[in-house]
Amino acid sequence: MLRVEGLSVHYGGVRAAHDVSFTVVPGQSLGIIGANGAGKTSTLKAVMGLAPRQARGLRFGEVDLLKAAPHTLVRHGLGYVPEGRHVFPGLPVEKNLLLGAYTSSWKQTPIDEVYELFPVLKEMRHRLAGALSGGQQQMLAVGRALMCRPKVMLLDEPSMGLSPILVAEIAAVLKRLNDDGLAIVLVEQNAKLTFEVTTTCLVMENGEIAATGTSADLRHDPRVRRIYLGL
């Protein structure tokens, strides 16, 4: 469904990612792990058209993402949860969610499903998003991405800055969404969380894919340990 072939990202002369290829099939959950600066975020941003990119091929279903304008991707069913949450701080929670459904009618959004998934957002729906805690903002960012009824959701470091309890909560939600048929691409530094949520994983190092495998295998792979610890 999502097919990335030979994707490279350069910022000026700096290479952030090089020759990255992967595919995501419907219902799959793919993890991309690696140390800080390995090129994970750049890869996701490049898929969304938010970073300067080159690729041999970048397709989402029938859509050629290299030709599609970034703001049209939502309409095709590509949801994105950016690193650092990026909620709209000065707008109420409910409006943040509705903006996730900007491209469709506000009369028939899946907002009730999102509230069912994150009851705390319903309680806080009239609060400004900027007044929420980090964990609540993360839920809001995930909820906002769900509002466009995506087929694939790209998540960038949803565990960043969250307490272990909240990380576990996010993991449970992601697993549930994946069980319901949503394909997930999870970019994380937190390898433990990623192995828990996903079935397949890529390990990135210095902008390139260093290893691929099932999450169960990689969990015990000494290479992962080496890449993380730099040994």
Partner 1 sequence: MQVLLQTLIGGITFGAVYALVAMGFSIVYRTMGLVNFAHGSVVMIGAYAASTFYMATRLPFAVAMVVAIVVTGLIGLIIERFLRPLENKDFTLMLIGTIGFGAVLEALAILIWGATGHAVPNPVATEPIDLGGVRIPTYSLLVIGVAALATALLALFLQRTKTGAAMQAVAMDHEAATACGIHVGRSNATAFAIGACLAAVAGSLIGPMLYVNPTMGGTLGIKGFAAAMLGGFGSMPGAIVGGMAFGLLDAFAAGNFQEYSELVTFVVFAVVVMIRPMGIFGEATVNRA
Site residues (CB under 8 A) for partner 1?
48, 50, 69-75, 80, 82, 86-91, 95, 98-100, 102-103, 106, 144-145, 148
Q: How far is the CB of 150 from partner 1 (least distance, A)?
A: 11
Q: What angle do CA 13, 18, 22 make, to 5 degrees?
A: 150
Which is closer to partner 1, CB of 106 or CB of 179? 106
Q: How far is the CB of 71 from partner 1 (least distance, A)?
A: 5
Which is closer to partner 1, CB of 13 or CB of 90? 90
Token pair belonging to 225? 């340990």
Which is closer to partner 1, CB of 88 or CB of 228? 88
Residue at 15: amino acid letter: R
Q: How far is the CB of 200 from partner 1 (least distance, A)?
A: 24
**Residues in CB range of 111: below 8 A, 6 or more apart:** 94, 97, 98, 101, 147
Which is closer to partner 1, CB of 63 or CB of 91? 91
The 8 Å CB, 24+ separation contacts for 121-125 are 121/93, 121/97, 124/93, 125/92, 125/93, 125/94, 125/97
Span between the terminal Cα atoms of the chain, in Å? 36
Cα 127 to the center of its chain, rounded Å: 25
Q: Do the Cβ atoms of 84 and 160 come closer than 8 Å? A: yes
Token pair belonging to 159? 């565990």
CB atoms near residue 226 (< 10 Å): 14
Which is closer to partner 1, CB of 19 or CB of 83? 83
Q: How far is the CB of 76 from partner 1 (least distance, A)?
A: 10
Q: How far is the CB of 144 from partner 1 (least distance, A)?
A: 7
Token pair belonging to 7? 């994707």
Which is closer to partner 1, CB of 71 or CB of 176? 71
Q: Do the Cβ atoms of 183 and 26 come closer than 8 Å? A: yes
Q: Do the Cβ atoms of 119 and 173 come closer than 8 Å? A: no
Q: How far is the CB of 105 from partner 1 (least distance, A)?
A: 10
